[in-house]
Structure 1
């Protein structure tokens, strides 16, 4: 950027958020360092209900879906430093190639602004923190098909997940189908303290880290307590996506109280080589 506005004078980050999800904006802005602002555009899911396919070219299908294409255009016109897609299921169904292909095509629509995906950021964050056997924690609105694709996505990336569990909303929600949980605003019932309790109770002995999947799963406030009490890195979709955006923007990713990921130096790749 050739100028630095009063709003977001340190960095300005754009996020693409699915329809009625309220969590990404809240968590991004809560974790963002001073002088960093977050700007959102919303979209309807480009995947038909019940479908596990985006066709022969998943990245192109997603980037050209009307709301996402328009969101990229609008966000790209306001001088942002980075944009991220808060839609991990797109990456899971699209496979490993989705992240880079989407980023390239999306950047063109965003007038050259760098674009990434939350799932790709989670992979990068796990690599940065040295996690090889993550315990995957999924939202209750992820059905079995999404969970299967999520496991395959991380396995194809060379990781060996120690298991996958869905956050349990409690007895009143257990008889509902995953899509019914989402439609009934189940994401509004997630509690950081309950997430902490469930992860601490269920963490497999061979897990060397935790990966909380889904940008709609409220998790930021549980990261530091879990890391302190379990002794392993904890990565969440929103935390990792913000971390990656800050790196792209050249802002030291310091967000006190949100996990060891933000304590890494900007040059962690060189240090790990």
Structure 2
């Protein structure tokens, strides 16, 4: 039996199976992943447009999750809900972490957006192609673009993953709740990303970013990197990489790099600390 090298905690919305599924799949031997769930703050049949950081951190089910993950011995806790940071801006991280930390028994807390920012910085990615989940809507597109600009991305271009025609009658913001995440094929993520990457009407991106925690893109990362020759970053990949680098800095997760992307060969960029969204600069 392999001794545990790291115990990572994740906070996930009530009906999202993707972060724990993908993070478990990517985690090296000796790393355990522990999940706590909270009710998504998006009211039913509406578009999500953000949550106050303090209100989210102090919601009863979030508090319960932080308390339980802290008491079970997690070495870091990630909020796998990037949209809250995109709408709240870089200041959301500091406020959320400060409020959440009071419930986590001293365990460092960070957000998926903090991890994404660090991953972009470590990879030197400044002009990414964003492959957006099919349930994101215009407010989230604008919020994501604004957030990335504020943390140092020079230019980004967005393309939304297209579901099949059977989803045409369902409002985009309800597609996730209706089970669209179960139908996403990584091979189709790869195909659509390659087509958008080579669009002759736009400058060549220097990488690909998939910002949605609930969007199952793990299986497309390595094929995209091999075919396009640029780094590919996903939200869940970033959460694991960032958590490992903080929780187990002496452990080298590079053993899985061939299977899970070049990000796992990279150190945290200088000046990165848990819970803070430092800007992007050359690695």
Q: TM-score, normalised by structure 2?
A: 0.88
Of 136, 161, 164, the residue aligned with 2:158 is 164
Of 120, 123, 146, the residue aligned with 1:152 is 146
Q: For residues 10 and 51 of structure 1, do their structure 2 counterparts lie closer, same or farther at Cα, with a shift above 3 Å needed? A: closer
Q: For residues 47 and 173 of structure 1, do their structure 2 counterparts lie closer, same or farther at Cα, with a shift above 3 Å needed? A: closer
The SS at the match of 2:189 is helix
C-alpha separation in 2, matches of 1:239 and 1:261: 8
Cα deviation for residue 51 of structure 1 reads 5.1
Q: For residues 30 and 53 of structure 1, do their structure 2 counterparts lie closer, same or farther at Cα, with a shift above 3 Å needed? A: closer
Cα deviation for residue 93 of structure 1 reads 1.1
Are the aligned partners of 2:245 and 2:268 in contact in 1 as well (CA < 8 Å)?
no
C-alpha separation in 1, matches of 2:269 and 2:143: 29
Q: In the alignment, does 2:124 pair up with 1:130?
A: yes
Q: In the alignment, does 2:13 pair up with 1:11?
A: no
Are the aligned partners of 1:46 and 1:61 in contact in 2 as well (CA < 8 Å)?
no
Of 258, 261, 264, the residue aligned with 2:260 is 258
Residue equivalent to 1:117: 111
Are the aligned partners of 1:46 and 1:65 in contact in 2 as well (CA < 8 Å)?
no
| Higher relative contact order, chain-length normalized (CA < 8 Å, sep 6+) | 2
Cα deviation for residue 104 of structure 1 reads 2.4
| RMSD of equivalent CA atoms | 1.9
- Equivalent runs, 1:200-215 vs 2, <5 Å: 200-203=194-197, 204-215=202-213
Q: In the alignment, does 2:87 pair up with 1:93?
A: yes
User: Can you give the 5+ residue segments of structure 1 that lack an aligned partner in the other structure?
Assistant: 1-5
Are the aligned partners of 1:135 and 1:161 in contact in 2 as well (CA < 8 Å)?
no
The structure 1 segments of at least 4 consecutive aligned residues displaced by more than 6 Å after TM superposition are none
C-alpha separation in 2, matches of 1:197 and 1:136: 14
Are the aligned partners of 2:47 and 2:173 in contact in 1 as well (CA < 8 Å)?
no
Are the aligned partners of 1:82 and 1:248 in contact in 2 as well (CA < 8 Å)?
yes
Q: In the alignment, does 2:29 pair up with 1:34?
A: yes
Residue equivalent to 1:235: 233
Residue equivalent to 1:71: 65
Q: For residues 59 and 8 of structure 1, do their structure 2 counterparts lie closer, same or farther at Cα, with a shift above 3 Å needed? A: farther
Cα deviation for residue 7 of structure 1 reads 8.6
Task: After superposition, give the CA deviation of every residue in 1:173-220 in whole Å (9 maximum; x if it has no partner).
Answer: 133211221221101111110000000010154311111011111111
Cα deviation for residue 101 of structure 1 reads 2.0
Q: TM-score, normalised by structure 1?
A: 0.91
Task: After superposition, give the CA deviation of every residue in 1:61-104 in whole Å (9 maximum; x if it has no partner).
Answer: 11011211111011111111111000011101111111122122
C-alpha separation in 1, matches of 2:42 and 2:170: 21
- Number of residue equivalences: 264
C-alpha separation in 2, matches of 1:190 and 1:147: 20
